[in-house]
Amino acid sequence: MERTLVIIKPDAVLKGLVLDVKTRYILQEMKLQRSVTRVLDLHTASLLYAEHRGQFFFEGLVLAMVSGPCHVMVLSGRNVICRVREMNGPTRDAPSGTIRGDFPSAGGPFNIVHGSDSPEAVLREIGILFPKLCTDE
């Protein structure tokens, strides 16, 4: 069974959207393996988005990620990496029916959710946010 890492970003947590967003995944037969609400520190947020270091939006993204609590989840299910990304919607101009489209935000780094984009990213991101989960299995 495949796993993925999802982060409900601080803007969505502050708007009280955790339950609504989480329920969408669970209704699609994805199993919640771990979930925790926590405030990321600058180091952790920078590590998480290291692939974007040097991009014009990197600093704003990292600051947005530490601006309040995140709700971090590990989901499992068939083809869950791809299915979560489809449910989340594209980075920009997400259509209605997707999570990013249905819960509009200020845009840029404030786009409600993060989902890992590959099996390698899942391992790396779970390693950063749930290190014990990696060594246990």
Q: Which residue in this structure is represented by tokens 């489809």?
A: 86
Inter-helix orientation angle 80-88/18-27, to 10°: 130
Q: Is 119 a residue that touches ligand UDP (CB under 6 A)?
A: no
Q: Shortest distance, CB of residue 111 to ligand UDP, whole angstroms?
A: 5
Closer to ligand UDP by Cβ: residue 57 or 131:
57
Residues 52-71, mask of contacts with ligand UDP (x by CB under 6 A): x----x---x----------
Cβ(1)–Cβ(78) below 8 Å = yes
Please identify, among the stretches 27-35, 55-63, 66-74, 109-117, the one whose residues bind Mg ion according to the rule CB under 5 A: 109-117
Please identify, among the stretches 13-21, 30-38, 104-112, 122-130, the one whose residues bind ligand UDP according to the rule CB under 6 A: 104-112
Name all contacts of 83-86 with Cβ < 8 Å and 24+ positions apart: 83/28, 83/30, 84/4, 84/6, 84/25, 84/30, 84/115, 84/116, 85/115, 85/117
Report the catalytic residues: 114
Q: Count the residues of the shown chain that bind Mg ion, applying the rule CB under 5 A.
A: 1
Q: Is 117 a residue that touches ligand UDP (CB under 6 A)?
A: yes
Q: Which residues bind ligand UDP (CB under 6 A)?
A: 52, 57, 61, 91, 108-109, 111, 114, 117
